[in-house]
Chains A and B, each alone.
Chain A
């Protein structure tokens, strides 16, 4: 008894092409596939601000006058960015998971006397498990998702930190000097003058980062999230009649084509939106684009072509 949405789906082998496809595309497995698109979008929606936060922290640390903190910030930026993201994803999630459980273990089971590492095994007391073994499956999935978000945010946070670090230095020195002349202290001039102006310089880099983040999502399955690539592979692989009501040859091509269209459409949408934001932000700013706007001609630098301009301006 397979749950079917349409009543005529009870005997797929006898159906004509259109109905067969309707039934095929509405199986529980396909529903999971459609849901995974939502998972990817949700991950992007949460990761982006979080990565920005990591980036902001990293950039501030890298600028710090206290040397060890500056080393920490710069080290974070340099190391994470020097390594291919796949390599990072392949071991970092397990490390993160073990780190979380180790911390909980220290807090919850202070008088545990067995070693945590026994041979190859990593063992914490059962109340320190994250989530608890008795927790329902959806909790495990949310935890896995959270770890994936954190890993993405840490990796892309390093990139964001680099962009923001550059942007903070790109704000004309005179602006900060003026703030100081008005009697603002370091803290005030940073938060009231530097940070608001920095965004404009950071935007091209950040919008590019967003594009990159979108395109890194096919690697999500490495982090144990059943994402669109996982389902596309699973659904597309050839199926023999013994194990499914809908046998078919290797259809991975079509599933990946759907993914390709999804990514292209999402990229296009992002380009349009980011272009608008850039134009809005340039308004009233002391840059070429801002000046052009005042004169009522041209538009601000687009996301794709504009970033090199900032890059080309000696900081």
Chain B
């Protein structure tokens, strides 16, 4: 097979299109690049949807955490503590167990035990907890002056939150949030590695890297390929989030704008 044919046969193998049988012998570099790249689609899917959905939930959680009302604050605190305090590896394990038992209760829950739904929910909850902590920190560090100014303009309640507090908090939180996004993408490699089984040999990038490492008995080719893809993915995330960051800071004088500095604030 030429590399082009490999590309046609396996580019979307991870989604179930193309050649059914994975390559069995004579593994070329091209095979490995194409299939691991194909698996990366899953990592992107998980990462992207969890980030987008998690963003909204995290905001709600962060606001709940700042609330003076205990019935709002306590559940938010508890949720954030459990999801930030335990390894994702173990969260996946429990979720899969829970989803399986739910499935026997009612067929409504059938979808949950498949990775594309179940694992997405776990990643969504996990990233929500981490992001909520970041947003909470940001809400707490809004300069007092900003809020006093808003009060002076007669703003209060929802209007003050939407127009003053929230935008400022996002601006403050964004560099840390960028890190969270990067590490969420890294965390997606755990999906098929712990808990969720791979169906019809459709898995993520790590699943295929594992497949090749197992077939060729040589870990030194597939895993560095995987690493290469993830470095690219990380660069894309930094670029996109950097773009959003400069949008958030567009009103500030140039020298006061924060650059997105990628710092390991939050991984799991």
Q: Which residues of A contact B (CB under 8 A)?
A: 78-79, 81-88, 90-91, 94-95, 120, 159, 162-163, 166, 205, 208-209, 211-212, 215-219, 229, 252-253, 256, 259-260, 263-264, 267-268, 304-309, 311-312, 314-315
Assess whether A215 is in contact with B88, with CB atoms less than 8 Å apart.
yes
Given A87-B189, A166-B263: A306 and B217 interface contact (C-beta under 8 Å): no
Secondary structure at chain B's binding surface: helix, strand, loop or mixed? helix
Assess whether B230 is in contact with A84, with CB atoms less than 8 Å apart.
yes
Assess whether A212 is in contact with B230, with CB atoms less than 8 Å apart.
no
Assess whether A90 is in contact with B87, with CB atoms less than 8 Å apart.
no
Assess whether A84 is in contact with B189, with CB atoms less than 8 Å apart.
yes
Measured between alpha carbons, how far is A78 from B224 in the docked complex, in Å? 15
In the assembled complex, B197 has its CB within 8 A of some CB on chain A:
no
* Residues from chain B with Cβ under 8 Å of A267 in the complex: 81, 84-86
Most interface-central of B133, B173, B227 (chain A CB within 10 A): B227
* Residues from chain A with Cβ under 8 Å of B203 in the complex: none
Interface-forming stretch among B20-28, B137-145, B159-167?
Answer: B137-145
Among B176, B235, B264, point to the contact of A162 (Cβ < 8 A).
Answer: B264
Q: How far is the CB of A77 from chain B (nearest CB, A)?
A: 9
B 164-193 to A, binary, CB cutoff 8 A, 1 in contact else 0: 000000001101100000000011011001
Q: Could you list some 25 contacts between A and B, CB below 8 A?
A: A79-B231, A82-B231, A84-B189, A86-B193, A88-B227, A94-B219, A163-B263, A166-B263, A205-B264, A208-B264, A208-B266, A211-B84, A212-B264, A215-B88, A253-B94, A259-B90, A260-B94, A264-B85, A305-B133, A305-B136, A305-B137, A308-B141, A311-B172, A311-B263, A312-B258
Q: Which residue of chain B lies nearest to A266 when distances are taken between CB atoms in the complex?
A: B85
Measured between alpha carbons, how far is A267 from B129 in the docked complex, in Å? 15
Given A84-B189, A162-B262, A166-B263: A307 and B90 interface contact (C-beta under 8 Å): no
Given A87-B227, A311-B175: A163 and B219 interface contact (C-beta under 8 Å): no
Given A82-B230, A256-B94, A260-B94: A87 and B176 interface contact (C-beta under 8 Å): no
Measured between alpha carbons, how far is A306 from B136 in the docked complex, in Å? 10
Assess whether A311 is in contact with B176, with CB atoms less than 8 Å apart.
yes
Please name 11 further chain A to chain B contacts, defined as beta carbons within 8 Å, in addition to the given A83-B186, A219-B89, A312-B258, sorted by A numbering: A82-B234, A82-B235, A84-B187, A84-B226, A91-B220, A120-B217, A163-B264, A212-B264, A259-B90, A264-B86, A308-B265
Interface residues on B, range: 35 or more
Among A218, A259, A312, point to the contact of B138 (Cβ < 8 A).
Answer: A312
Q: How far is the CB of A54 from chain B (nearest CB, A)?
A: 13
Assess whether B263 is in contact with A85, with CB atoms less than 8 Å apart.
no
* Residues from chain B with Cβ under 8 Å of A120 in the complex: 217-218
* Residues from chain A with Cβ under 8 Å of B138 in the complex: 308, 312
Secondary structure at chain A's binding surface: helix, strand, loop or mixed? helix
Measured between alpha carbons, how far is A151 from B223 in the docked complex, in Å? 15
Among B89, B141, B217, point to the contact of A218 (Cβ < 8 A).
Answer: B89
Q: Which residue of chain A lies nearest to B221 when distances are taken between CB atoms in the complex?
A: A91
Assess whether A87 is in contact with B206, with CB atoms less than 8 Å apart.
yes
3 smallest CB-CB distances across A and B, nearest first, come from: A308-B137, A267-B85, A84-B186
* Residues from chain A with Cβ under 8 Å of B234 in the complex: 81-82
Among B133, B210, B218, B226, point to the contact of A304 (Cβ < 8 A).
Answer: B133
Q: Which residue of chain A lies nearest to B222 when distances are taken between CB atoms in the complex?
A: A91
Assess whether A218 is in contact with B137, with CB atoms less than 8 Å apart.
no
Among B87, B141, B213, B219, point to the contact of A309 (Cβ < 8 A).
Answer: B141
Assess whether B258 is in contact with A314, with CB atoms less than 8 Å apart.
yes
Measured between alpha carbons, how far is A81 from B176 in the docked complex, in Å? 15
Assess whether B186 is in contact with A85, with CB atoms less than 8 Å apart.
yes
Assess whether A260 is in contact with B90, with CB atoms less than 8 Å apart.
yes
In the assembled complex, B116 has its CB within 8 A of some CB on chain A:
no
* Residues from chain A with Cβ under 8 Å of B93 in the complex: 252, 256
Given A83-B230, A87-B226, A88-B227: A264 and B219 interface contact (C-beta under 8 Å): no
Assess whether A308 is in contact with B227, with CB atoms less than 8 Å apart.
no
Assess whether B86 is in contact with A215, with CB atoms less than 8 Å apart.
yes
* Residues from chain B with Cβ under 8 Å of A259 in the complex: 90
Q: How far is the CB of A73 from chain B (nearest CB, A)?
A: 15
Measured between alpha carbons, how far is A158 from B257 in the docked complex, in Å? 26
**Which residues of B216-263 are within 8 A (CB) of A?**
217-220, 223-224, 226-227, 230-231, 234-235, 256, 258, 261-263
Given A256-B93, A259-B90: A308 and B176 interface contact (C-beta under 8 Å): yes
Assess whether A90 is in contact with B85, with CB atoms less than 8 Å apart.
no
Q: How far is the CB of A151 from chain B (nearest CB, A)?
A: 13
Assess whether B262 is in contact with A91, with CB atoms less than 8 Å apart.
no
Q: Which residue of chain A lies nearest to B224 when distances are taken between CB atoms in the complex?
A: A91
* Residues from chain A with Cβ under 8 Å of B85 in the complex: 263-264, 267-268
Measured between alpha carbons, how far is A264 from B176 in the docked complex, in Å? 23
* Residues from chain A with Cβ under 8 Å of B172 in the complex: 308, 311-312
Q: Which residue of chain B lies nearest to A212 when distances are taken between CB atoms in the complex?
A: B267
* Residues from chain B with Cβ under 8 Å of A86 in the complex: 189-190, 193, 206
